A and B are shown apart, each in its own frame.
Chain A
């Protein structure tokens, strides 16, 4: 069964070229992809993740608000009972923020410049690993 991924744009940032490219690339790579569109609240993203039963939520943030929004989305997923959903984050992210995002609950971080094939490989590995019982 294909792995279901929700590509989501939290916050008010409207730059979605990257999110759409990633959505399309993942679809071509065999994932089942849902795209939320821009300007979604963390709660709305968690609700869609739960409803669509996705394995991975991918956030795309270019406004600099990535740390706070990642934390809020991770919290929203937890309180919606979607603890098993993996959260990954991409966008305009300086190197110094990668550990902060991981601490906030990101399983992987893809800063600008990440080759798309690396992203696909990483997401395949993540979803495969996550399907194995711990």
Chain B
């Protein structure tokens, strides 16, 4: 019922481009499905009934589409984007995801919960399962479980479907932000950045929720709905929590501090998990003792961290050159009308570096195995910023 009502509200939201409504409906639907599994029994009939309710609620979206005559934006360039999406879909679902974080964290938890038909607190509480990061939020594993419940079986390779869905949703939202050929071009360029190569990991959903939350906030539109997506981002990965802080500070930097209280859903959505996980003594490895010592060590000797960042720099050099040039060309827009987006990206990057400063692990090891993934979380937003800043 909650799913149906919220989705209906989203579907009939006035004035939104159809493509964005579609993208947002998918992302919200994934969040609602995860919430359903936290509340309702893990029973196939119940879950299917919830879907039917949701689909019924989605009907106004389609009706409205025909009433308003709005169309999905399209261009010849979109055919190339569609070709790449089809290739990604094959890549993402051809086998069980190969990412180690899927096997040790996201997919593993989903499988354990699937077997237990609920959150397996016993598994999460075992100290020898600390490698599974029991404190991480559960939206992504629960989304996999929802798929399994609906399908009636656990099929590893269908984890890729979430990555595909999130990628399409993110691209639809981007497409709604930029009209005409520039929008089609942006979608083509951004496709490989929003369709996460880390299939099965939480990066894909996190990127999609970040885009859904942050792009409309540039124009201070639909603050509450943006905050909901921000909360869902924080329910994917802990980096989503720092993103909430980054958005709040960026709003202040860009002269919209009066909007910060309206972000309350962003805090309210991940808050129950933060409380429940602490009650179950599921602690982040960052919370290990000796925090001050680690900070002092890494601040006074940043060379290992910086060397590792240089050694394991993400992406291709030509990409970063193009990005820097585009940002330089459009610097007036970056510091002016796009100051909010630029601030969010900068603050989130600072948060990533702070995580390395306080890491209890060997910092070179930590950077090596996470830097590329972390940077990917903001690469699509940064590229979007470069495109809107440098466009004619």
Chain A complexes with chain B:
no
* Chain B residues engaging chain A, CB cutoff 8 angstroms: none
